[in-house]
Structure 1
Amino acid sequence: MKILLQVIILFFGVSLNAFAQKGTIRGTVTDAANGEPLFGVNAVIAGTTTGAVTDFDGKFQINVEPGTYTLQISFVTYQKITIEGVEVKEGGVNIIDNISMKEDVAQLGEVVVTAKAIRTTEAALLTVKRKSTNLMDGISSASFRKIGDSDAGEAVKRVTGVSVEGGKYVYVRGLGDRYTKTMLNGVDIPGLDPDRNSLQIDIFPTNLIDNMVVLKSAVAEMPADFTGGVVNIETKDFPEEKILDVSLGVSFNPSMHFNDNYLDYEGSSTDWLGFDNGSRDLPNPDLARSIGQEYPAPTSPDFSNEEVFDYNNSFDQTLGASQATSFMDYNFGLTSGNQFVLPNDYKIGYIFSGSYKSTTTFYDDIIYGEYQKPGGSEERTELITANVQTGQQASKNILLGGLAGLALKTPNSKYRFTAMHLQNGESTAAQFAINDDPEDLAQGKSGFGATSDNIAYSERSLTNYLLNGEHHSSDNAWTIDWKVSPTFSNIQDPDFRKAAFSLDQGEPTLAAGQAGLPYRIWRYLDEINVVGKVDVTHSFELFNDNSKLKFGGSYVYKERDFEILGYTLQFFGGQPDWSGDPNEILADENLYPNDGNGFLNTINTKPNSNAYNSTVDNIAGYTSFEFNPISTLKVVAGLRAENYVQRHTGRDTNFAQGNVEEGKNLEDEKVLDNLNLFPSLNTILNLTERQNLRFSYFKTIARPSFKELSFAQIIDPISNRIFNGGLFVYEGEWDGNLRSTLVDNIDLRWELFLDRDELISASVFYKGFSDPIELVRIRTQLTSNEYQVRNLGDSRAYGAEIEFRKSLGFISPGLENFSVNGNYTYTKSLLQMSETEYQSRLDYEKPGENIDETRPMAGQAPYVINAGIIYDDIDKSFDAGIFYNVQGPTLVVVGGSLFPDVYTEPFHSVNFNLNKRFGANEQFSLNVSVNNILGDVREEFYKAYESSDQYFNRRDPGTSFGVGFGYSF
């Protein structure tokens, strides 16, 4: 506490007047041989004694009068560097962040460069990539401005082998979100979507991010639960210069915005802030939880008619969407930060950033389809319509984010504290026409037509704290890095409402056996995620070269509470004559004991089968050794151990409904208990100074999520599809034993680093999957659309990657400012089907069809392409580019029996972006963008032998036009 008080006094009491008329030169010096910071380097203004010495981060700071200087960088046994044209303005900061020193083995004297030539963050990131011990790609904050991406989901898809599904979920090397891990500042954080295994990456505005790195091979200090890659998002912490930036952006999509047919409903007064004010709360949830199916209904002797009416009348009577006019997208942000020099060479820095983003979408021809195969013995190959919903779906999404950080640096230590909160609210309204195919009846279907109104609200929040300390010995031979990071996430889906009228000879009616009775759902999820880790590094000399011994450990604790409470409308006797307006259904006259005799009855069991508590304890330890057996070869060998225990409290519907003999009930029972060893080996052969050949082998794991290892049944009220937890048993299909996936990974990469941030690289890789987890259509559930995750057999995937980044100046000097970049990832996957799945496919084999025992692995894209053409004129502070991204057709839902497989259709994304900075000090910025120039449509199709493709999902995002403004004070 005493130290903290001293820091506060110094921070607020230190006099900065001495530097009021001066400017500052700040720089970072690294070793060209390994990319690591150099400690103790002298940085001096030529012809003077004014200078500084680099700290353990390789950083230095010099305060001088305004002017233009020559800076000399020198270090024993290293080549001297002279940097000319270092301009210093009054009160300004000149940052030179990529000074790379070479050993002076041939006594080559000094190197003379200009300051402008080495001031590029992207070049620094390439240096890290070239010297990294594992395979990595990344993108820096400097590129965010150039490309104009507003959030991490848009930015990360520029990275080699990376694609982003739905703008939110990262795929690395074509592998789905299950095999990609997202980390924040090097630690685990939970996702905001309970239906996904990975984090929604679009919740991070780029103005909060320092850089994003995608790691594609493992080292022992990394968590083992990834396969395609780890996306690590580093937030800003210690600003190199004073920052006070504001930004404002708007985007217009002609097919979505200022549309008078937009769908909406009355929400709460705080929806614009990303949370509900309580107007959607469930009336008396404690009562609903305590009495289960003895809910106050006419059949219960415990409640009077008046009490039944009052309780039913306490629910919001709005069940239908109404037309409104949509507004365009807009966003704004504020970022402020600075650092100060304190006595005794202490430095303190702060960063604050806030952002607000409102996005409105409207799809006026959305499709959700369900199809079946005709019988196996039939000649017919065309699919049979089981159920198709077509109509309009509208949503308004609010994302409010804030980050505050404080960092303190001493001569031998650095401390960092950051707090981040993200608030997300999304209001959705939809209207559908439902065709249950009365003319060509599918199995398990009654055949009907209907209309449906669906309204929903999702409120999601994430709060993360990080306390980090980094300590160096006086000779920089020992480093201790520790982190403690708790994260609290909360998800509420208050009052999902669906009201569908079945059409009986054109007349609307409420029918349980057809479109279903009106229902409403409240879903709650609270999750705590606490991470503690420590890493110790010892640097020493072995074989006349630098070596490192690393060891450490981590502990991760997670706990999730999940609950769904739901209600459906029922009637005594006959129903009123309906007009087809869903907002009349809960009118007073239609509620018991009035003439309509309608009442809302719970669909919850007692105990609730749709509630669970799960915990995870993951204790890990590791050691690794990095050494150079010869001067051109680096070897990093490591071993990681993880003891992972997942416990679950929950029960299936059989037990909850009183069938204790056949039902299952778990009370804090272990559903996963594994001690696994994860070896890793990375080798880097320096063919030349700028050319590497890399080889790596590592073992990783993909574990089931809380939701997947549960008895939960989660319905999507928009598409009407139901997810069933993997603990459910389906006789003849699935034994309820969901297991982790172990993966063996092999990578080989050649890379050549050229001048001006240019590079060429080529890779090949192999991955072997034991028991991969895949999403499956449940074959025995014919009357409803139900899905489950299962282990379906072993799989393998192999592929290749190429990447290039090249200026066109070699063609003509007039093309010097033009560059092209691109990357292509090809993957071939094969899964050996289980006997159950293979036989279910043979049962529906068509004449002439030849069903193989292997198929593509679910979630694995066959190819990913990223490409771009960029014009960048540094002198005029102007850049522009056009960028292309596509992912190949991917199996997303595994069929079998009468259900066909579902594949994504390639979405060809072409975007344009332009940036210009202007003003005396370039304090103004302008950004212009056009997204989805081709107007492509996002589609997923059912595919079967000699059958026309039929829609599983379809939505048209249209083309959007955006403009953004920024000002730096």
Structure 2
Amino acid sequence: MATEEVATDDVAEDELMAESATPPPGFTGIYGQVTDAQTKETLIEATVKAVTGGQKSVLTDVDGNYQLALPPGKYDLRVFYDVYEGRRITGLVVEQGKATKLDVQLSADAGAVQEVVVEARADRRAEGAILQERKKAAAVSDAISSQEIARTPDSSASDAVKRVVSATVVGGRYVLLRGLGGRYSTTLLNGAILPSPEPDEQAVPLDIFPTTLLANLNILKSYTADLPGTFAGGVLQIETNNYPSQFELKPRISFSGDTQSTFRDRTSYNGGTLGWLGFDDGTRQLPASVPRNGPLLAGRGGLTSADVNRITRDFPNTWALSTARALPNMTLGASMGDTLRIQNQRLGYLASVNYSHREGVRISDIIRPEGDADGTGVIVDQVGRSVEGTESANLSGLLSVGYQPERNLDLSFFSLFTRTGESRARAIRGEEPNGEPNSRSTAEFVSRMLTFNQLRGFHRLNVLGDMELDWQANFSNVQRDEPDTHSISYRQTESGEMRFKSDPGGERWYSTLNESSFGGSLNATVPLSGVRVRAGGLAQGSVRTFGMRRFRYIYAGGNLPVLSQDPDRIFSADNIGNGIEMQESTLPEDGYDAQLGLFAGYVNADVSLWEPLRLVAGVRYEASFQNLTTGTDYSIVASQAKNTRQSYGDVLPALNLIYALGPQVNLRTGYSYTLARPTFRELAPILYFDFVRGRAVTGNPELVETRIHNVDARAEWFLGDNEVLAASAFYKRFQNPIEQIIVTPAQLDLSFDNAPAATSYGLELESRVGLGRLTPVLESLRAGANLTLTRSEVDLGTSAPLQTNQQRPLQGTSPYVLNLNLTWARQQSGTELTLLYNVYGERIAEVGTQGLPDVLERPFHRVDLALSQQLGKNAQLKLTATNLLNQFIVLQQGDLQVLKYRPGVAFSASLGWNL
């Protein structure tokens, strides 16, 4: 009656879920239980399918029971389960109103038991899971898991990513992969392209992602056709936490401080009452009386000088700096999640919220150099000391929901919100070249916000050998708001009196950036005999609006004593129109609208016909356009809007070869031909002012995209579940790399040009091992180390005659990066102690011009210590100490240290519960 056959069919689309063991009265159909013929254990989610007389099917429940409702008739049934021999039962008769019982026993398939495939969501937060993914990956990759991050003192993604092989961080927020950042790298959040909230940076600032939201950080270092074509340093994939398999509620709290800041006086200013939340309460907003249809300028829009003075008095008089006591930093957070099971359906969720507040002090020594008389060195032009105080707050939240109505369908929704607000007050005191003292004070507030929403789906279809479809749709919005950044300068006169400098005067500016990005992708995977073909497409668009308004206070004559007053008196209402006047100084280029469209299609083949050789080959076609229109209604100079449009169409081939010397050893090599595009501002044929560095920047509409040849090789040996040894080499050849160049000698104004060529190559070594391999005495110790050696060179040709070196390393590339860590763990007591060390080699921070040497960032050695202790079953205490060496951070130009400061030794204590 029963016939055996191999279980290869999948579940039909009208598949029903199993119900209770005993059918209700009046049930018409077949019911029973499916078990293992040898062990008698029940088989969960085995398939019972009517193959003749109907096409219905059902999965067994957690007890192996099934009910298959069928109309009266005669049926053949097929029962099958992974790695078991399927059975076919013929001639079953179903009568109206009667339930026919059929218990089925399946025997293990002797030819299939060597490979058992279990469908489940791996915990991608675990180090072992990450290494398994890396071993099976089609491309060269490195990653750090949430489990590993928990062993470090790192609080944000920018802190954690520097532990990954060849990753360095500049400015505390931007990652360089293999010495390359900005346009040469792409950041993906759960597989979707992430925009940057910075107006002049293509890189995403990673300090906006708290580590509590992260499942892992994965860096892909060799290219495959299913990745975005902007690739040279690599692709940073940020994976956020998914819903847990069982209920968890985890509150946490931490406090931290450092020797440089905590309980010391920090420079501050009156910015409102919501600074502790990172919000502006309206104090810094542009007054409502300021015209919104034109510039604040006498003679424009019907305004008189009296009108301008009246409106000027509405600006807040918040120029004077003050001091406040820097309190310890604090972080609060909680997460809750669960997976609910309704028969064979699953509904999972995870919600997480975080709040952190930080205060800091930085005291820096600053030197402004100039060339010496014979043009062979540098001498001191100006010296100064900067005392800077900061207050920042971060709010973030995450919601992840997943629904699996049946075995072959997964739907999920993900939403992320993160917002950082930082106020900064800086007082600089120095000397003019003639020795006369000067001072400058600046106050600013910058908020950055990211919202990201994504809907994803996965389908397994019973066609073309179990074809899989996956898709995602996303919408994100980034905002950057800088309301009322203001600055004022003083200079000491011959009589010893500090006097207001009318040039540049008192300056204040307001800027906003808003960018919305939306798109989606669809991919199909078809498993054939020895070949896995994956093809798909992507469409992604973004719309950006940027606007800035500048205002300048000047001394207009008369009332001479006003120049010697303190800032809060100089700009008081009594002096406006009585010696002090305001002028709007907004330029035509201080506003732009931009659009980016990206459309791509690809096909990729993963071929395993010649085991142990695996070949992954593919090609991608990527079409894109960039459109930028400059102009603002607030410009003091009448001008026409300027439009720049660039479009590209690129073919991007990729080939990766993996040769398995054994189950745990891979040899990899790969080649790809990828690209890098100019940014919006680099293309714009206009002049805009970089007020941070005090120089003008001109775009270049003649820029062309960069094409890059990438070659990679790696040998990797996975010694154990959490152990690996790896050695990698890479080589990159850039055609038409985009470089920042000096175009005017006196002001050192900047523009951009395509250099003829550049190269970058290097070696990476990595080790993660348990020291118990050496002797049982060291069983509780684990060690890790990674070293990256990089050399790069850019040939500027004749495009940058004012730069000192026409051939030099790429800006920001360190010749070496070293990470060491040692972990001691005692499972009996739940104690874990980790010691970490990080150092990067000397790198170019700013390019030297007119004979002046390049500004170099000196090596910085950092030692961190983290101790975690399990407190009972449901609580954990973590203590950390970071930057124990407390070295100076130094920028050096020639023999002069142009910037020097200590970041301080930091300490933290955190307590988490699992309720």
1:422 aligns with 2:410: no
Matched, 1:485 2:474: yes
Pick from 449, 467, 474 the counterpart of residue 455 of structure 2.
Answer: 467
Q: Tell me if 1:597 matches 2:579.
A: yes
Verify: 1:403 aligned to 2:407, yes or no: no
For 1:690 and 1:107, the matched residues in 2 are separated by 20
SS in structure 1 at match of 2:683: coil
Partner of 1:957: 903
Query: Which residue in 2 is equivalent to 1:753?
Result: 718
Structure 1 counterpart of 2:546: 562
| CA 1:165–1:109: 2 relative to 1, 3 Å | closer
C-alpha change, 1:282 and 1:656, in structure 2 (3 Å) is closer
Q: Distance in 2 between matches of 1:386 and 1:127?
A: 57
Does structure 1 conserve the Cα–Cα contact (< 8 Å) formed by 2:247 and 2:336?
yes
1:666 aligns with 2:617: no
CA contact (8 A) 2:275 2:391 kept: no
> Do the aligned partners of 1:373 and 1:900 also contact (CA within 8 Å) in 2?
no
User: Which region of structure 1 is more displaced relative to structure 2, 788-797 or 231-240?
Assistant: 788-797
Flag the 1:466–1:747 CA change in 2: closer, same or farther, 3 A. Answer: same
| Residue 209 (structure 2) pairs with residue 204 (structure 1) | yes
Question: In 1, are the aligned partners of 2:197 and 2:515 still within 8 Å (CA)?
Answer: no
1:120-269 matches, within 5 Å, as 121-260=126-265, 262-269=266-273
Q: What is the rounded CA distance, in whole Å, between the counterparts of 2:906 and 2:44 in structure 1?
A: 50
Shift of 1:493: 0.3
Letter in 2 for 1:549: V
2:556 aligns with one of 544, 557, 572: 572
Aligned to 1:900: 853
CA distance in 2, matches of 1:465, 1:302: 46
Q: CA deviation at 1:629?
A: 3.4
User: Pairwise mapping of residues 370-409 of structure 1 onto structure 2 (< 5 A)?
Assistant: 370-374=368-372, 378=374, 381-409=376-404
| SS of residue matched to 2:763 | strand
Is 1:821 the counterpart of 2:801 in the alignment? Answer: no
Q: 2: CA distance between counterparts of 1:561 and 1:109?
A: 54
Contact 1:746 1:766 in 2 (8 A): yes
Q: 1:612 offset after TM fit, Å?
A: 0.7
2:83·2:116 contact (CA, 8 Å) conserved in 1? no
Are the aligned partners of 1:371 and 1:900 in contact in 2 as well (CA < 8 Å)? no
Compared CA separation, residues 301 and 207, structure 1 to 2 (3 A) = closer
Give the match for residue 495 of structure 1: 484
Alignment of 1:251-290 (within 5 A): 251-260=256-265, 262-284=266-288, 287=291, 289-290=292-293
Q: Which amino acid aligns with 2:787?
A: Y
Q: What SS does structure 2 have at the residue aligned with 1:146? A: coil
Partners of 1:683 and 1:124 lie apart in 2 by 23
Query: Which residue of the partner structure matches residue 798 of structure 2?
Result: 835
Using the TM superposition, give the Cα deviation of residue 743 of structure 1 relative to its aligned residue in structure 2, in angstroms: 0.9
Gaps of 5+ in 1: 1-13, 16-41, 65-73, 79-101, 112-117, 440-447, 728-735, 845-850
Take 2:36 and 2:553, find their aligned partners in 1: how far apart are those partners? 80
1:871 aligns with 2:824: yes
Output one character per residue of 1:93-149: Cα deviation in whole Å (capped at 9) or x when no partner: xxxxxxxxx9987988999xxxxxx99922121111111001111122222223343
Asked if the contact 1:274–1:426 (Cα under 8 Å) also holds between the matched residues in 2, the reply is yes
Contact preservation (8 Å) 2:520, 2:539:
yes
CA distance in 2, matches of 1:685, 1:955: 49
Superposed displacement of residue 165, structure 1? 2.2
**Would the aligned equivalents of 1:148 and 1:914 in 2 still touch at CA under 8 Å?**
no
1:153 partner SS: helix
Instruction: Say whether 1:609 aligns with 2:589.
Output: yes
- Cross-structure match for 2:708: 743
Verify the 8 A CA contact 1:148 1:915 in the aligned structure 2: no
Report if the CA contact (8 A) 2:44-2:63 is conserved. no
Candidates 284, 291, 298, aligned match of 2:294: 291
Equivalent AA in structure 2 for residue 404 of structure 1: L
Instruction: Say whether 1:649 aligns with 2:649.
Output: no
Which region of structure 1 is more displaced relative to structure 2, 135-144 or 313-322?
135-144
Output the CA distance in 1 between the equivalents of 2:505 and 2:696.
20
Equivalents in 2 of 1:954, 1:63: separation in Å?
68
Q: Cα offset for 1:652?
A: 11
Query: Which whole-Å CA distance do the structure 1 matches of 2:61 and 2:819 have between them?
Result: 39
Going from structure 1 to structure 2, the CA distance change for 1:588 and 1:119 (only over 3 Å counts) comes to closer
- For the Cα contact (< 8 Å) 1:176–1:860, is it kept in 2? no
Which residue of structure 2 lines up, in the alignment, with residue 76 of structure 1?
83
Aligned to 2:836: 883
State the partner residue of 1:619: 599
Q: What is the correspondence of 1:57-76 to structure 2 with a 5 Å cutoff?
A: 76=83
Aligned to 1:522: 510
Distance 2:337 2:114 in 1: 41
Separation in structure 2 between the aligned mates of residue 913 and residue 797 of structure 1, nearest angstrom: 35
Contact 1:374-1:898 within 8 A present in 2 as well: no
Partner of 2:609: 629
Residues 428, 383 of structure 1: CA spacing in aligned structure 2 closer, same or farther, 3 A cutoff?
Answer: same
Code of the aligned partner of 1:362: V
Q: Can you list the C-alpha shifts for 1:767-792, whole angstroms capped at 9, x where unaligned? A: 0011222334x351524x64444433
Whether the 8 Å CA contact 2:221–2:235 is kept in 1: the answer is: yes
Cα distance in 2 between the residues matched to 1:759 and 1:43:
40
**Contact in 1 for aligned 2:507/2:551 (Cα 8 Å):** yes
1:724 corresponds to which residue? 697
Q: Within the alignment, does 1:942 sit opposite 2:893 as a pair?
A: yes
Aligned residues: 825
Q: CA RMSD of the aligned region, Å?
A: 3.1
Distance 2:914 2:60 in 1: 25
Counterpart mapping for 1:745-784 below 5 A: 745-776=710-741, 778-783=742-747
Aligned match of 1:696 in 670, 674, 697? 670
> CA offset at residue 168 of structure 1?
1.4
1:314 corresponds to which residue?
314
Aligned partner of 2:683 among 709, 718, 741 = 709
* Distance in 1 of aligned mates of 2:537 and 2:688: 36
Give, in angstroms, the shift of residue 793 of structure 1: 3.2
Contact 1:633 1:684 in 2 (8 A): yes
- For residues 937 and 46 of structure 1, do their structure 2 counterparts lie closer, same or farther at Cα, with a shift above 3 Å needed? farther
Q: Distance in 2 between matches of 1:628 and 1:610?
A: 55
Shift of 1:361: 1.6
Equivalent position SS for 2:907:
strand
In 2, Cα distance between equivalents of 1:54 and 1:859? 56
How far apart in 2 are the matches of 1:530 and 1:131? Answer: 31
Once residues 170 and 815 of structure 2 are traced to their aligned partners in structure 1, the CA distance between those partners, rounded to angstroms, is: 15
Q: TM-score, normalised by structure 2?
A: 0.85
TM-score (norm 1): 0.80
Q: Is the 2:816–2:840 Cα contact (8 Å) retained in structure 1?
A: yes
Give the 3-state SS of the residue equivalent to 1:149 in structure 2: coil
Q: Structure 2 vs 1, CA of residues 625 and 502 (structure 1 numbering), >3 Å: closer, same or farther?
A: same
Q: Secondary structure at the match of 1:782?
A: coil
Moved over 6 A (4+): 42-46, 102-111
Does the CA-based 8 Å contact 1:625-1:637 persist in structure 2? yes
State whether residues 174 and 887 of structure 1, in contact with CA within 8 Å, keep that contact through their aligned partners in structure 2.
Answer: no
- 1:286/1:619 Cα in 2 relative to 1: closer, same or farther (>3 Å)? farther
1:145-171 superposed Cα distances (whole Å, 9 cap, x missing partner): 233432222222222222222331112
Q: Quick one: distance in 2 between partners of 1:710 and 1:320? A: 37
Query: What SS is found at the alignment partner of 2:131?
Result: helix
Letter matched to residue 293 of structure 2: S
The residue that corresponds to 2:3 in the other structure is: none
What is the CA-CA distance between 1:898 and the residue it aligns to?
A: 4.2
